[in-house]
């Protein structure tokens, strides 16, 4: 009842009964009209029901929420818009308000609209009394919170899905506040650190770091906080609960509230302890292999030099032997054969010559190959030239004419590529190895 209506009643008490009754009715009408104007202009539904739950009054918003017209909703029992479960819940709440006389706020129930769709109402309930104080029904505000409930359910579903994913990944997931205390983590993170959940919750990450790693971690987190840019694949060494050391590869992102204000950090931690140990072993093995390989290379180089020297010595020995036999033995053997008359002696000399040829044939073949396939006669003359013998000396030793020796010398020059050149044949032969 408003102030003016109260004044009217005050003065009405001093009037005669008939005039007093008319004044009271006018005051009540004025107050009720004002209240109905208020209820019609609020966005939420306003309702009044009797003790059985039949609608006795409601505003347009309440009709809009239920989907019923004013004519359809007036006198309708609220149980007709509830399923069995909600009917029981609503009865218990209304009965409690009736028994205690105390209002109930923000009670949710699911209502079935006229078109069969369902909505969720957030309802307040107060006991409605007559002028004499007798309970005559209930009244309250009904707010349609269907969309909010759907959003809340979607958020719960997403959070549950998110939690399930986090708990099922093999890597550790963590969330810490700005001071570095663990606020949330998955089982993998607890397993990596070796701490049970109740001990890791609220624990500061610095408690698991030495001074060097604590400084490195602070620098990284401070950079992420300052730049608001995530950092990936940062390694640090930490101490497990049992005292053993581990290495984790960590990503760090800034965690903000709905207003965009930083409230902490979050990220993924992967245990790479065994990988780092394997890499260290491989590095040592590679260094050892390189050292062994260097030793083998040095030994191989020395062996190559020795083999090359041995081959050079062998070739020099072959050439020297072949040259000595051709120069120092065979010419004199030929002379002895020419002068020998005894048949037996000639046979022995022939055997001796064949044996010498057998001994020197491999050497002579290799030497002749290196000297462009010189014939045996050309090889003999080349060796005599190499010794410094003149054409006349060679002719006398071989019992041929000087002209024949000249022809052989010319052929030798051609095969050695000295034809039409002023190069000395003996000098060239001495340079050939």
Q: Could you tell me which residue, 76 or 380, shows the higher pLDDT?
A: 76
* Strand order, beta sheet including 245-256: 182-185, 172-177, 262-271, 245-256, 231-239
Measured CA to CA, the distance from residue 74 to residue 98 in angstroms comes to 22
How many angstroms separate the first and last alpha carbons of the chain? 136
Q: Can you tell me the mean pLDDT for 82-86?
A: 94
pLDDT (0 to 100) of residue 364: 53
Question: The CATH number of 3-146 is which of 3.30.450.20, 3.40.50.80, 3.30.70.100, 3.40.50.300?
Answer: 3.30.450.20
For the cut 90, the answer to whether the pLDDT of residue 29 exceeds it is no
**How confident is residue 298, by pLDDT bands cut at 50, 70 and 90?**
confident
Q: Could you tell me which residue, 15 or 93, shows the higher pLDDT?
A: 93
Q: pTM for the full model?
A: 0.44
Q: Ranked by mean pLDDT, which of 87-91, 280-284, 306-310 comes out on top?
A: 87-91
For the cut 50, the answer to whether the pLDDT of residue 1 exceeds it is no
Tell me which residue of 36, 41, 45, 73 sits closest to 142, measured CA to CA: 45
CATH topology match: 3-146 vs 169-271: yes
For the cut 60, the answer to whether the pLDDT of residue 27 exceeds it is no
What CATH code would you report for 169-271? 3.30.450.20
Measured CA to CA, the distance from residue 121 to residue 144 in angstroms comes to 5
pLDDT (0 to 100) of residue 152: 86
Q: Can you tell me the mean pLDDT for 16-44?
A: 59
Classify burial at 369, counting beta carbons within 10 Å of its beta carbon; exposed 0-12, middle 13-18, buried 19 or more.
Answer: exposed
For the cut 70, the answer to whether the pLDDT of residue 426 exceeds it is yes
For the cut 60, the answer to whether the pLDDT of residue 294 exceeds it is yes
Tokens of 23: 């004044």
Identify the H or E element spanning 341: none
pLDDT (0 to 100) of residue 54: 96
**How confident is residue 137, by pLDDT bands cut at 50, 70 and 90?**
very high
Are 137 and 226 in contact by the 8 Å Cβ rule? The answer is no
Q: Could you tell me which residue, 335 or 432, shows the higher pLDDT?
A: 335
What is residue 113's three-state secondary structure?
coil
Max CA separation in the chain (angstroms): 195
Lowest mean pLDDT: which of 53-62, 170-179, 389-398?
Answer: 389-398
Q: Can you tell me the mean pLDDT for 143-148?
A: 91
For the cut 50, the answer to whether the pLDDT of residue 12 exceeds it is no
The predicted-structure confidence for 31-55, as pLDDT tens digits, reads as follows: 555 556 556 667 899 999 999 999 9
Tokens of 191: 């397993």
Q: Could you tell me which residue, 51 or 18, shows the higher pLDDT?
A: 51
Tokens of 27: 């005051």
In the block, residue with structure tokens 């051709």: 326
For the cut 80, the answer to whether the pLDDT of residue 124 exceeds it is yes
Q: What is the mean pLDDT of the chain?
A: 83
What is residue 179's three-state secondary structure?
coil
The predicted-structure confidence for 337-369, as pLDDT tens digits, reads as follows: 777 777 777 767 777 777 777 666 655 545 555
- Please give the share of the chain, as a percent, with pLDDT higher than 90: 43
**How confident is residue 20, by pLDDT bands cut at 50, 70 and 90?**
low
pLDDT (0 to 100) of residue 30: 53
SS3 of the chain: the string is CCHHHHHHHHHHCCCCHHHHHHHHHHHHHHHHHHHHHHHHHCCCEEEEEECCCEEEEECHHHHHHHCCCHHHHCCCEHHHHCCHHHHHHHHHHHHHHHHHCCCEEEEEEEEECCCCCEEEEEEEEEEEECCCCCEEEEEEEEEECHHHHHHHHHHHHHHHHHHHHHHHCCCEEEEEECCCEEEEECHHHHHHHCCCHHHHCCCEHHHHCCHHHHHHHHHHHHHHHHHCCCEEEEEEEEECCCCCEEEEEEEEEEEECCCCCEEEEEEEEEECHHHHHHHHHHHHHHHHHHHHHHHHHHHHHHHHHHHHHHHHHHHHHHHHHHHHHHHHHHHHHHHHHHHCCCHHHHHHHHHHHHHHHHHHHHHHHHHHHHCCCCCHHHHHHHHHHHCCCCHHHHHHHHCCCHHHHHHHHHHHHHHCCCCCCCCCHHHHHHHCC
pLDDT (0 to 100) of residue 117: 94
Domain boundaries, the chain: 3-146, 169-271, 313-431
Q: Could you tell me which residue, 335 or 217, shows the higher pLDDT?
A: 217
Q: Can you tell me the mean pLDDT for 211-224?
A: 94
For the cut 90, the answer to whether the pLDDT of residue 308 exceeds it is no
């Amino acid at each position: 009842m408003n102030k003016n209506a109260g004044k009217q009643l005050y003065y009405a008490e001093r009037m005669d009964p008939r005039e007093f009754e008319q004044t009271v009715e006018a005051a009540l009408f004025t107050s009720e009209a004002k209240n109905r104007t208020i209820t019609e202009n609020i966005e939420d539904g306003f309702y009044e029901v009797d003790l059985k739950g039949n609608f006795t009054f409601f505003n347009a918003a309440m009709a809009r929420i239920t989907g019923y017209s004013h004519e359809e909703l007036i006198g309708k029992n609220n149980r007709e818009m509830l399923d069995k479960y909600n009917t029981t819940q609503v009865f218990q709440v209304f009965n409690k308000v009736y028994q205690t006389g105390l209002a109930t706020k923000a009670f949710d129930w699911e209502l079935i609209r006229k078109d069969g769709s369902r909505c969720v109402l957030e309802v307040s309930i107060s006991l409605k009394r007559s002028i004499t104080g007798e309970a005559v029904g209930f009244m309250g505000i009904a707010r349609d919170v269907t969309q909010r409930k759907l959003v809340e359910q979607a958020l719960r579903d997403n959070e549950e899905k998110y939690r399930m994913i986090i708990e099922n990944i093999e890597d550790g997931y963590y969330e810490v506040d700005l001071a570095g205390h663990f606020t949330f983590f998955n089982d993998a993170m607890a397993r990596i650190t070796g701490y049970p959940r109740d001990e890791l919750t609220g624990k500061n990450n610095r408690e698991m770091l030495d001074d060097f790693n604590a400084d490195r971690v602070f620098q990284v987190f401070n950079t992420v906080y300052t730049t608001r840019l995530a950092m990936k694949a940062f390694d640090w060494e930490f101490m497990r609960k049992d005292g053993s050391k581990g290495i984790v590869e960590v990503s760090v992102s800034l965690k903000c509230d709905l207003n965009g204000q930083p409230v902490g950090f979050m990220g993924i931690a992967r245990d790479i302890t065994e990988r780092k140990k394997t890499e260290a072993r491989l590095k040592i093995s590679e260094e050892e292999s390189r050292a062994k390989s260097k030793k083998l290379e040095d030994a191989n180089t020395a062996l190559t030099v020795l083999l090359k020297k041995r081959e050079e010595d062998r070739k020099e020995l072959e050439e020297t032997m072949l040259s000595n036999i051709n120069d120092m033995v065979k010419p004199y053997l030929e002379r002895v054969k020419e002068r020998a008359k005894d048949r037996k002696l000639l046979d022995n000399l022939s055997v001796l010559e064949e044996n010498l040829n057998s001994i020197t044939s491999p050497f002579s073949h290799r030497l002749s190959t290196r000297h462009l396939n010189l014939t045996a006669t050309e090889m003999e003359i080349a060796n005599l030239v190499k010794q410094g013998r003149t054409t006349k000396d060679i002719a006398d030793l071989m019992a041929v004419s000087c002209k024949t020796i000249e022809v052989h010398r010319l052929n030798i020059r051609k095969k050695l590529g000295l034809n039409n050149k002023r190069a000395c044949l003996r000098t060239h032969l001495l340079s050939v190895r």
